Amino acid sequence: MNPTHTVDGAHTIHAADTASVRDRFREVLAHFGSGVVVITSQDASGAPVGMTVGSFTSISMEPPLVGFFAGHTSSTLPSVVANGTFCANVLSEDQHRLARTFARSGADKFAGVDWSAAANGSPRLHGAHAWIECTIDEHRPIGDHELVVGRVDALGIPAASEPLIFHRSLFHGLRAHR
C-alpha cells in the first residue's frame, strides 16, 4: 500500500510514512479549534505560576474530572504538580493578550494581571469566561507530554462572556448562530 495518496483533492498521509506525518501533524491539527485555558497554581514559595494550554478537556461527570496536557519541557508544570492543586481559567474572547503572556516562558506572567486567590490558593484570573478549581487526581507522561487529571472541587461562571478560541494558529471570538 502506498503510504500517501489523494482523495477528493486532499493529500492523505498514512502513519507508515512517519517522516511525512511528523511534518504535517501540527498543520493538520491546527484545523481543530479549541478553547484556550490558563492553568494557574502556586510554586513552593507560594508565588503564583501559570501556563496557557490548548489541550484541556472534560473527562468524567461522575466523579467530575477534567484534564490537560503540558509538554515535558514546561517550566511551570513541575510547580503545578508539586502543589497538587490548580485552577483552570477558561479565557474570554478579549483575553488573547493574556493567552500569549502565559504561553511565554520565563517572564513574570502575573505582572499587571488582575486575579484573586481561589479557595485552593490558585490564582483565579479576573475576566475569565469560566473557572474550575481542582485537586490533582492523576499525573503521568504520555508521548512527549504529561497528562494531568484534576478532580473538580469548585467551578463557576463569573459573568456573561464569549470564549476565546484558537484555530489555525490564531485567536478568535465565538459568536453563536441560531
Average pLDDT over residues 127-156: 97
Cell triple for 59: 473527562
Residue environment code for 70-85, b if the CB has 16+ CB neighbours within 10 A, otherwise e: beeebebbebbbebeb
Mean pLDDT of the chain: 86
Which CATH class for the 34-172 domain?
Answer: mainly beta
> Mind listing the pLDDT tens digit for each residue in 19-35?
767 667 667 756 555 67
In the chain, domain spans: 1-31, 34-172
Average pLDDT over residues 138-164: 93
Q: What is this structure's pTM?
A: 0.84
> Mind listing the pLDDT tens digit for each residue in 155-166?
999 988 888 877
Average pLDDT over residues 64-71: 97
